[in-house]
Amino acid sequence: MTERIRWVPALDHPELMADPVRAAVARFDGSVRAAAIDPEVADTAAFCERYGQDLAASANCVVLAAKRGGEVVYAACMVAATQRADVNGVLRRHLGARKASFAPMDEATGMTGMEYGGITPFGLPQGWPILVDKTVHDTPWVVVGSGLRASKLRVPGPLLAELPGAEVLSLTK
**Mind listing the pLDDT tens digit for each residue in 129-149?**
999 999 999 999 999 999 999
What whole-number distance in Å separates Cα of residue 61 and Cα of residue 59?
7
For the chain, state the CA radius of gyration: 15
**pLDDT the model gives residue 91:** 84
Closest CA to 2 of 64, 49, 61: 49
Prediction pTM value: 0.92
Residues in the chain: 173
Residue 131 pairs with which residues in a beta bridge? 77, 167
Degrees (nearest 5) of the Cα angle 162, 26, 54? 65
CATH number 3.40.50.720 given to 8-169: no
Contacts of 7 (CB under 8 A, 6+ apart): 33, 34, 35, 154
Going by C-beta distance under 8 Å and a sequence separation of 6 or more, which residues neighbour residue 6?
Answer: 35, 36
Q: Output phi, psi for 85, to 5 deg.
A: -70, 140
Our measurement of the distance from residue 96's CA atom to the centroid of its chain's CA atoms, rounded to an integer in Å, reads 22
Looking at 12-141, list the stretches that DSSP marks H as alpha helix, in order from N- to C-terminal side.
19-26, 44-51, 92-94, 105-112, 134-137
**Domain residue spans in the chain?**
8-169
CA distance 122 to 25: 7
What pLDDT sits at residue 70? 86
Query: What are 16-60's pLDDT values in tens digits?
Result: 999 999 999 998 878 999 999 999 999 999 999 999 999 999 999
Q: For the segment 56-114, what is each residue's pLDDT rounded down to a tens digit?
A: 999 999 999 999 888 999 999 999 999 988 888 888 888 888 888 899 999 999 999 99
pLDDT band at 158 (very low <50, low <70, confident <90, very high): very high
Phi, psi (deg, nearest 5) at residue 145: -70, 170
Rounded CA separation 166/132 (Å): 7
